[in-house]
Amino acid sequence: MAARRYWLVKSEPESFSFDDLLACEDQRTAWDGVRNYQARNTLRDSMQSGDGVLFYHSNAQPPCIVGLAEVASGPYPDATQFDPASDYFDPGATRDDPRWILVDIRATARLERPLELEELKRNPKLDAMELLRKGSRLSVQPVTAEQWREVLAMAKRKAPKPTK
DNA sequence: GCCAACGTTGGC
DNA sequence: GCCAACGTTGGC
């Protein structure tokens, strides 16, 4: 059995928040709507059931990591690509040759406190995190085991004093 | 609302 | 294959 891996997924809380995930039956949902090839390849080729997931709120005030989740299925086709009524409909995709793949995500725990982007940026141990790279827009991205541990450790520490 | 950084599209 | 135009993401 392969070692557990770690990931970060972004979601705009206005469209789907961590609370929305907690409200789902079994706290799980199909992580649909990803329409970026690099993110698709990660979902399809690398994510495995049981992997750890950091749940990040983008376009939020402030943007922050709010919770933990896990990959709860293997990869399978995103049904929204076949649905003409969906915003995610892709006329170029067919059931025989699906273009977009997803996995299920299940919430496991809310963080002790939200970790704001600003605070993450100030932690030198997270310098190499994909989320913090300038211009990074990937909505599904890898996290190293060290980064995962550091994020969890930060959440257990007290919030830093505001700097402004 | 602005805009930098990317990704995609399509003419050539 | 190049690259300009356009669309999207997402912090600020």
| Residue A134 half-sphere exposure toward CB, CA atoms < 13 A | 0
Separation of A62 CA and C8 C1' (Å): 21
List the one residue out of A115, A97, A130, A8 whose CA is nearest residue A60: A115
- Residue with nearest Cα to nucleotide C10 C1': A59
Q: What is the mean pLDDT of chain A?
A: 93
Task: Supply φ then ψ for residue A23, to 5 degrees.
Answer: -80, -10
Task: Strand C: list protein residues with Cβ under 7 Å.
Answer: A 10, 12, 35, 58-60, 63, 117-118, 137-139
pLDDT of A135 above 90: no
| Residue A9 half-sphere exposure toward CB, CA atoms < 13 A | 31
Read off the pLDDT of residues A68-96 as tens digits, 9 standing for 90 and up.
999 999 999 999 999 988 989 998 888 88
Q: What is the mean pLDDT of residues A53-81?
A: 96
